[in-house]
Structure 1
Amino acid sequence: MNRYNAFAENKKKRASMINQNLSFSENNKKGIYVLVIGESQNRLHMSVYGYGRETTPWLNQQHNENPDFLLFTQAYSCHTHTVPTLTYALTAKNQYNEISLENAVSIIEMAKAAGYHTAWISNQVQYSAWDTPITVIASEAEQQIWLNKNVGETTKTNFYDEKVVNGLQNIKKYDKMLIVIHLMGNHGSYADRYPHQFAKFQGRGKQIDAYDNSILYNDYVVSKIYDSASKLPYFQSLIYFSDHTDAVDQGLAHDSGNFVYPMTYIPMYMFFSPDYKAEHETTFNNLKFHQAAVFTNDLIFNTILGVMNIKFPPIYEEKNDFTSNKYDDTPTRFKTLYGAKVIQPYPNNNA
């Protein structure tokens, strides 16, 4: 936890680092960007990625019919636990650079420096041994909604994830915004993650059936988030990724001490407005080109900066930005568990 404490204490130094390099090409451009963070979601249990059960009917439709939708088939988690994953995904620190975590600027800090109002809506615990570093990052947002009022080492929730839609509708809106939504998603206990009307699947055992039901419910939740977000004036993009997965087919959750590669098989997908695509044709086409390229989610930070066009070195790294034609997609460079394991790409399926 010492690194995390140092991160919290180093706020002023990071602000100075941003100000010294401040140079935004679209500093006055309006736009609302939404980042949705899933939890414990395994793409091998999503029908949009070829799973036999229809667990993602809405995403299936988007994939087949929506030209503004991009599905990425080779995304992997940089760790198997939420805190290690998101402290990299949401800051300039990643497995491929030498930045110290305490000096790693967060995506919230970057967006604010670029003139964006920031909001954080979470259905995860605010005060927990697991989530403290995430809370530090979130605490920089001007608006915060914490739906889960439990405290400590618990996965209990007061509400199902669809409650975040109310939060999205109730926050004060600005012409320039970054909105982060952190779901409880598919975290065990799986049967606690969805209302009874989503208990559709049976016949593959209690755990897998409940997990698949939670995937079905997540599909519904994200559809409602997108419906609400895409109606906002100046909506530009919604980006979704999961922190890590659960290795449900192996009878495992996501404990790195029992590591297996399916713990890294995350989903990632994005939506863009027609206006964004028209104004940022190169960015959209680069992302489209990279749909089957390998990606680890500690590169979300650079990719969001690319999407929002907040680019300046040394904080922004073009070779780690999925929106760039200079993205380094060499498969053998990608790692997980903070560099301890080399990613083993899973063969493309029906996606």
Structure 2
Amino acid sequence: MDYFLFNFSGVQFHYTMSPVFFVAIKNTQKILWNKYNLFLVLFCITACLVGVYKYRDNIITDIPKQTSKTLAQYKNFSKERTDRKDNMSKLLLSHKPEAGVYVLVIGESQNRAHMQAYNYHRATTPWLDSMKNDKNMLLFTKAYSCHTHTVPTLLYALTAKNQYNNIAVKNAVSVLEVAEAAGFETVWLSNQVKYSAWDTPVTSIASEANQQKWINSTLGESTNTDYFDGKLIEELEKIKITDKMLIVMHLMGNHGSYEQRYPKAFEKYDGKNTIDKYDNSIIYNDYVMSQVYKRARKIPNFKGLVYCSDHADAIDKNLSHDAAQFDFDMTHIPLYIYLSDSYIQNNSAKYKSLEKQKNKLFTNDLLFNLMLGVLGINLNNIYEPNNDPTADTFDNNKERFKTLYGKKYICEEKL
């Protein structure tokens, strides 16, 4: 008889080589091999599950959790709208804000490090650069976003909720709700997608506006647009003007794909690489803002223009703004405020405070308090003067400022 010797996992086996025994050998080897692989697979799965559980509180696993939490907060926010409105009259103090027209522009994915006005080496913001030394223009040099995604950022920026208070999102009144209750005509003009998972919470806030215009007909999770942002200037021309207004404009701004954000005429750089395309979009954004400024100043009783981006793109590191790959570059946003001569004359203390704070840290979840301060709205138990740079009580302690919904302290950044 013949004998067959083989090695399996370091153990030697001897079998008689008859046809029957050969079949037995093959089947036995197959069974043992399958069990061995099954053990490895089960071991790997168990190890992965243990690892995920042990390190479950990290940035990567936190993204879906945070998204789910944000959407859940949004649902409660929408459901509690009626109750917030009913309580608004009780919260507003007897002093009524003066009449005036104010424009708030929300940028998208704009990094101040690529803006000429913030000392970028390319001439990407000629209008803003020409305006930054105007006494009426206040350029904030250390503004940061509170998150790196639009919905989480604007859910805080446009409501009373921020990283530094304990207000439940469902109870957080929006800046539009407050302005309307204080007698302002409210307007929302947008080039963002109206109906998608990304923008629905923002849409809910915008739905409070008395006048609305959405020029982007795209549906779903898309960044496509029908028009460039300049189309919003035409819509600004069409709104019904009163002497007491808050106009909010939400741009598509500098969101990727960058080459889709500007007309061919604004392709100053050849566009062969990502930074060229991004810088071209910055140039066009500056042009759009110059036109918003020109149009706003013609509105009777115009008082002020505030511009703030939702977050930035870490364009130099090719990271966009994905929080799973968090980098502080994603939070470096521009913020600037233009105030009319009449506003400065009648609100000299606020103007001086803004001048004092413009080179201090600021996170855009405090935009709500900033806007209430600019508008002159007193909201009892909601407005926070320590979080409003128009107030001399603004807390500019650099150690307190956070981003990524409180998970990162800004002072951790190595500048």
TM-score range for the pair, normalised by the shorter chain length: over 0.9
Give the partner amino acid of 2:119. G
Instruction: List runs of 5+ in structure 1 lacking aligned partners.
Output: none
The answer to whether the Cα contact below 8 Å between 1:87 and 1:133 also exists between their aligned partners in 2 is yes
Residue 175 of structure 1 corresponds to which residue in structure 2? 243
Q: In the TM superposition, what is the alpha-carbon distance from 1:24 to its structure 2 partner? A: 4.5
Of 237, 254, 261 in structure 1, the residue corresponding to residue 304 of structure 2 is 237
Of 60, 72, 91 in structure 1, the residue corresponding to residue 129 of structure 2 is 60
Residue 254 of structure 2 corresponds to which residue in structure 1? 186
CA shift digits 1:157-191 (9 cap, x unpaired)? 00000011011110101110000000000000000
Q: CA RMSD in A?
A: 1.3
Instruction: List runs of 5+ in structure 2 lacking aligned partners.
Output: 1-70
Residue 34 of structure 1 corresponds to which residue in structure 2? 103
The answer to whether the Cα contact below 8 Å between 1:24 and 1:310 also exists between their aligned partners in 2 is no
Of 310, 316, 340 in structure 1, the residue corresponding to residue 383 of structure 2 is 316
Residue 34 of structure 2 corresponds to which residue in structure 1? none
Give the partner amino acid of 1:177. M
**Please, which moves more after superposition, 255-264 or 339-348?**
339-348
Residue 255 of structure 1 corresponds to which residue in structure 2? 322
Of 190, 198, 208 in structure 1, the residue corresponding to residue 275 of structure 2 is 208
Q: 1:154-173 residue pairs with structure 2 within 5 A?
A: 154-173=222-241
SS at match of 1:125: coil
Residue 129 of structure 1 corresponds to which residue in structure 2? 197
TM-score w.r.t. structure 1 length?
Answer: 0.96
Question: Relative to structure 1, is the Cα distance of residues 47 and 346 closer, same or farther in structure 2, using a 3 angstrom cutoff?
Answer: farther
The answer to whether the Cα contact below 8 Å between 1:186 and 1:193 also exists between their aligned partners in 2 is yes
Q: What is the rounded CA distance, in whole Å, between the counterparts of 2:73 and 2:88 in structure 1?
A: 20
Q: 1:324-335 residue pairs with structure 2 within 5 A?
A: 324-335=391-402
Q: In the TM superposition, what is the alpha-carbon distance from 1:347 to its structure 2 partner? A: 8.8
Residue 300 of structure 1 corresponds to which residue in structure 2? 367
Give the partner amino acid of 1:222. M
SS at match of 1:148: coil
Q: Does 1:5 align with 2:5?
A: no
Give the partner amino acid of 1:31. G
Q: Could you say which structure has the greater relative contact order, defined with CA pairs below 8 angstroms and 6 or more residues apart?
A: 1
Q: In the TM superposition, what is the alpha-carbon distance from 1:345 to its structure 2 partner? A: 7.8
The answer to whether the Cα contact below 8 Å between 2:93 and 2:380 also exists between their aligned partners in 1 is no
Matched residues, number = 345
**Please, which moves more after superposition, 194-203 or 251-260?**
194-203
SS at match of 2:345: helix
The structure with more helix, counted as a fraction of residues: 2
Give the partner amino acid of 1:115. G
Q: What is the rounded CA distance, in whole Å, between the counterparts of 2:124 and 2:293 in structure 1?
A: 18
TM-score w.r.t. structure 2 length?
Answer: 0.82
CA shift digits 1:15-62 (9 cap, x unpaired)? 1221212215234x2100100000000000001000000100000100
Q: Which has the larger radius of gyration?
A: 2
Residue 88 of structure 2 corresponds to which residue in structure 1? 18
Residue 44 of structure 2 corresponds to which residue in structure 1? none
